[in-house]
C-alpha cells in the first residue's frame, strides 16, 4: 500500500498465516520490509479521521472521495482479485511505541471504523453543529483495541474489539504535538 507520512498500524486477521512476519491475531507497525509486533492488545488515542481510497496496482492513494480516481477505485473494489480498497483512515497515537500512526480501516475493518468514528474520535463543537449531530463535543480519549478469536463453522479468524481504556494513562503527546499532527494528517495530498 502506498505510504503516507505515517507508519501504518496493521492487524493480522488470518488464523493461519503470518502477515509480513506478524503472527495471527497481533497488531503491529509496518516497516519497509517487515513489521514491529505490538501484541494482541493496544492502547490508542484516536485523533483524526479521513476517507481513503487505494489502488495498489498503480501505487495510488487519494483522500478526496469525490475525485475521479476515488470513484474509479470504488467501482473496482468489489471485483475479483482487486487491488482497490476504500475505507476510513485514522490518525492514532499508540501508547507502547510512543508513535503517531495511520490505521487504514478498509473493508475487513469497516465495523471497527464505525466504532471509532461514532464513539471515540474527537468531535469539535463546530463539527457537531455543522453535521447536526445529537452528541456533545468530545476530546480524544484512550481506548484499548483487543484481538479476539472468532469462529464460524470451519472458519477461524481474529477481529479487533474496541473499548474504553480500563487503565488511566496519563502519558500523551502535548496539545501542540497533537494539533501539528492532526493538521499534517488532514492536509496530506494524494499520492498519484
Q: Write out pLDDT tens, residues 121-137.
A: 788 888 878 878 777 88
- Whether the pLDDT of residue 176 is over 80: the answer is yes
pLDDT confidence band for 1 (50 / 70 / 90): very low
Please indicate whether residue 164 or residue 2 has the higher confidence score (pLDDT).
Answer: 164
- Find, among 107, 96, 69, 79, the residue nearest to 165 by Cα: 96
Sign of CA dihedral 67, 72, 78, 84: negative
Assess whether pLDDT exceeds 90 at residue 91: yes
Distance CA 139, CA 162 (A): 17
* Overall average pLDDT of the 163-167 stretch: 85
Of 171 and 113, which is predicted with more confidence?
171
Residue of 124, 111, 98 whose CA lies nearest to 161: 111
- Pairing type for strands 84-94 and 99-105 reads antiparallel
- Mean pLDDT across the chain: 83
pLDDT in tens, 98-154: 999 999 887 766 666 666 666 777 888 888 788 787 778 888 888 899 998 888 888
Residue written as cell 463543537?
125
* Spatial CB neighbours of 116, under 8 Å, sequence gap ≥ 6: 46, 49, 88, 90, 105, 162
Q: Do the Cβ atoms of 90 and 102 come closer than 8 Å?
A: yes
In this prediction, what percent of the chain has a pLDDT beyond 90?
21
CB 49 within 8 A of CB 90: yes
The 8-class DSSP code of residue 133 comes to: -
Amino acid at each position: 500500500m502506498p505510504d503516507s507520512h505515517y507508519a501504518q498500524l496493521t492487524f493480522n486477521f488470518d488464523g493461519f498465516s503470518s502477515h509480513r512476519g506478524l503472527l495471527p491475531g497481533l497488531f503491529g507497525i509496518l516497516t519497509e520490509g517487515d513489521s514491529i509486533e505490538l501484541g494482541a492488545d493496544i492502547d490508542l488515542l484516536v485523533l483524526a479521521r479521513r476517507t481513503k481510497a487505494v489502488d495498489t496496482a498503480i501505487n495510488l492513494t487519494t483522500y478526496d472521495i469525490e475525485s475521479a480516481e476515488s470513484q474509479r477505485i470504488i467501482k473496482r473494489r468489489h471485483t475479483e482479485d482487486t487491488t482497490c480498497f476504500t475505507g476510513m483512515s485514522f490518525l492514532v497515537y499508540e501508547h507502547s511505541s510512543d508513535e503517531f500512526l495511520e490505521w487504514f480501516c478498509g473493508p475487513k475493518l469497516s465495523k471497527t471504523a464505525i466504532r471509532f468514528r461514532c464513539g471515540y474520535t474527537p468531535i469539535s463543537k463546530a463539527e457537531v453543529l455543522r453535521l447536526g449531530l445529537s452528541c456533545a463535543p468530545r476530546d480524544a480519549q484512550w481506548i484499548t483495541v483487543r484481538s479476539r478469536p472468532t469462529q464460524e463453522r470451519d472458519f477461524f479468524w481474529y477481529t479487533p474489539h474496541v473499548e474504553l481504556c480500563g487503565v488511566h494513562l496519563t502519558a500523551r503527546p502535548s496539545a501542540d504535538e497533537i494539533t501539528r499532527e492532526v493538521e499534517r494528517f488532514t492536509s496530506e495530498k494524494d499520492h498519484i
